[in-house]
């Protein structure tokens, strides 16, 4: 899997793009101002940077996402687990569950998810 690095402000901006794409850059400026408090120049700078990194495409003033949200989340999650938990999902879940209480329904749902993806491997 290709590593995709998107910073926090870029991720908030990408959420707008994922929700509205394809979208004109003019409309994107308006939404970014309303939702993020960004000025026009900031929005165009981020569009340029994300375009240069192959994350979005800005063609004829229409902005398209070149990557999807799920790929970004997967890449960021993998990086987080690799960096903080030495790549160990077991250590990640153990650490998380020490502080996070789960209902019986949540536990059953998580078991089903683990079984489903464990079988696929």
User: What pLDDT does residue 2 have?
Assistant: 67
Instruction: Specify whether domain 8-69 bears CATH 1.10.10.10.
Output: yes
| Number of CB atoms found within 10 A of residue 94's CB | 11
- Residues of the chain within CATH 1.10.10.10 domain(s) are 8-69
User: What pLDDT does residue 24 have?
Assistant: 98
pLDDT along the chain (121 residues), means of 10: 84 98 98 98 98 97 96 92 94 89 92 84 57
User: What pLDDT does residue 119 have?
Assistant: 67
d(CA 32, CA 95): 36
């Amino acid at each position: 899997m290709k590593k995709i690095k998107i910073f926090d402000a870029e991720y908030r901006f990408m959420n707008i793009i994922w929700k509205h794409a394809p979208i004109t850059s003019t409309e994107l400026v308006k939404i970014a101002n309303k939702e993020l408090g960004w000025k026009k120049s900031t929005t165009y700078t981020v569009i340029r940077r994300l375009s240069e990194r192959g994350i979005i495409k800005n063609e004829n003033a229409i902005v398209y996402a070149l990557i999807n949200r799920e790929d970004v989340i997967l890449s960021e999650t993998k990086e987080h687990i690799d960096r903080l938990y030495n790549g160990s999902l077991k250590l990640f879940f153990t650490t998380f569950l020490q502080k996070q209480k789960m209902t019986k329904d949540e536990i059953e749902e998580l078991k089903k998810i683990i079984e489903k993806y464990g079988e696929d491997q």
